[in-house]
Structure 1
Amino acid sequence: MKKLVLTGAAGRLGSYLREPLSKLCDELVTTDRAADIGKLYPNERYVQADLADLAPMVDLLQGADMVVHFGAIGDEAPWDQILPSNIVGAYNIWEAAYQNKVRRVVYASSIHAVGMYPKNQFIGTDVPHRPDTFYGLAKCFAEDLASLYWEKRGVESVCMRILSAANVGNPRALGSWLSYDDLIHLVERSIDTPVTGFTIVYGVSNNDRAPVDNAKAHYLGYRPKDNAEQFAAQMLATSAPLNPQDLSDMCHGGPFATIPLGESAASKLNIVDDSKKT
């Protein structure tokens, strides 16, 4: 490809995507609100911009083949913060893609779009939305936006419902873990699959305890290799037993299922900021 655009380049997950994406195109344009993201890869160009402003997004996507959209608040937050970043920002990306005839949006959706389902339900990619937070609601909006722009305007999308792309730091992650290598593999397959239309796929590694069914998205060629079971003995020995009466233990969304709307849940997940440094 000639040009790829990556939003959310200053984020933890974006930091792992920059190098592999730079190898798939002649020019990688990365963007975020941060003033600087450090040393750039040889064919990478960084542009500071705000997703909530449509005009810069239209400029950024000019001449792009595809956009990998990871920019957003990555946690539950008050509505007046979620709205511009996660909802208006999503609209601006799809609208800018349409205006520039960009073929496909590869989107970092989330399990929190369906986070209130019990984990003893092995849910597929076609279950109705059941968000657990304003954050999850914004993911529902973006998925429906992606469907609309495919049906009405022909912009393809792959919505990757990421479960937990972070270190295995709690028992929930034994099922929900998405390794960074598998994340990269999923994004690459979302880019190089010849035809996707509107597709939803779960972002989860090949975990023995994975609580979701990716069968309907197998045609993407996503075949994860990592398995969180390697951490099971230590994690179960050092963690308190889960409580079947506690929604944070029983629901796909984990602690997002029980926190008050607008309050952060990330602090309850024991996530280490291990961003990749250039």
Structure 2
Amino acid sequence: MKFKKLVLTGAAGRLGSYLREPLSKMCDELLSTDIADDIGTLYPGERYAQADLAKYDEIFPLLEGADMVIHFGAIVDEKPFEELLGPNFVGSYNIWEAGYQHGVRRIVYASSIHAVGMHKKRDFIGTDAPHRPDTFYGLAKCFTEDLGSMYWDKRQLESVHLRILSAAQVNNARALGSWLSYDDLIHLVTRAIDTPSVGFAVIYGVSNNDRAPVDNTKASFLGYRPKDNAEQFAEKVLAETPAPDLNDPAEMLQGGPFAKVDLGQSGIAQMTIVDDRKKT
């Protein structure tokens, strides 16, 4: 199925860089947007518009004529609440309200494990686990999931919320369970777009890892069947990793380092994420 128009927010980000090309092949027009000045060479059928998610008058016209929005735009770290309020809270409202006003069929949202980050990994939570945010960043994900649920119940605007665990290179022990490969990310987003009916749905963004700490059974109707497995990195990673402190929240809880930092303090600073975004 080929769509007339898709909109991708967060197109200048690392994950957005891997989504642009496959999304451009699914539609006649891909409108990519971000706050950045530009995103490099555009793919066939793609155009770019600079816009601030926190400003409704900049977002509203971009969604005109769109079939679906793939909403990956946000500050992607813990920050003081005041810094996250515009892009991560108000920005989500602006996308949903503009989408509703323009008759958009579905929004695919980059949620996060940090919406449930204070759950224990050993509990093997499902997609129906109650919200337990680990940070203001995670709270924004909870807000947007509830926003999506409300807009489905009250206004029949569909949405799929992808609770991504960690879409980054496997260079630590936590990632052996939490890894989402870029190929599986593309597959996940594709299934969220082309599944005929979704209503309001939540699914974990994680590859087919032997050590995955979450259960996607109740989201199987979306047809997401990941192929990659972080176990291929286990021998090297474990050889370089010291024995874990079993009293450390970063080791025991779903949110990893985000579950340990003080509110408003960077979680990314505690991690070793490689910026390997796709170049155009």
Secondary structure at 1:188 match in 2: helix
Secondary structure at 1:263 match in 2: coil
Match of 1:82 among 81, 84, 91: 84
Which residue of 2 is the match for residue 122 of structure 1? 124
Which residue of 2 is the match for residue 250 of structure 1? 252
Provide TM-score, normalisation by structure 1: 0.99
2:4 & 2:48 partners in 1: Cα distance? 16
Which residue of 1 is the match for residue 204 of structure 2? 202
Secondary structure at 1:68 match in 2: strand
Provide TM-score, normalisation by structure 2: 0.99
For the Cα contact (< 8 Å) 1:169–1:269, is it kept in 2? no
- 4+ runs deviating over 6 angstroms: none
1:203 & 1:109 partners in 2: Cα distance? 9
Secondary structure at 1:120 match in 2: helix
Secondary structure at 1:276 match in 2: coil
Please list the CA deviations of residues 16-57 of structure 1 after superposition, one character each: whole Å capped at 9, or x if unmatched. Answer: 000000000000000000011110001101000000011221
1:181 aligns with 2:183: yes
Where in structure 1 are there 5+ consecutive unaligned residues?
Answer: none
Please list the CA deviations of residues 211-233 of structure 1 after superposition, one character each: whole Å capped at 9, or x if unmatched. Answer: 00000100100000000000001
Please list the CA deviations of residues 162-201 of structure 1 after superposition, one character each: whole Å capped at 9, or x if unmatched. Answer: 0000000110000000000000000000000000000000
2:225 & 2:152 partners in 1: Cα distance? 25
Give the AA of the match of 1:189.
R
Q: CA RMSD in A?
A: 0.5
Where in structure 2 are there 5+ consecutive unaligned residues?
Answer: none
Please list the CA deviations of residues 218-268 of structure 1 after superposition, one character each: whole Å capped at 9, or x if unmatched. Answer: 010000000000000110000111111111110000010110111111122
Please list the CA deviations of residues 107-146 of structure 1 after superposition, one character each: whole Å capped at 9, or x if unmatched. Answer: 0000000000011111000011000000000000000000
Which residue of 2 is the match for residue 270 of structure 1? 272
2:73 & 2:243 partners in 1: Cα distance? 35
* 1:1-278 equivalent positions in 2, closer than 5 A: 1-278=3-280
Secondary structure at 2:214 match in 1: coil
Name the stretch that deviates more: 261-270 or 219-228.
261-270
For the Cα contact (< 8 Å) 1:134–1:262, is it kept in 2? yes
Give the AA of the match of 2:41.
K
The number of equivalent residue pairs is 278
Give the AA of the match of 1:265.
G
Give the AA of the match of 1:44.
E
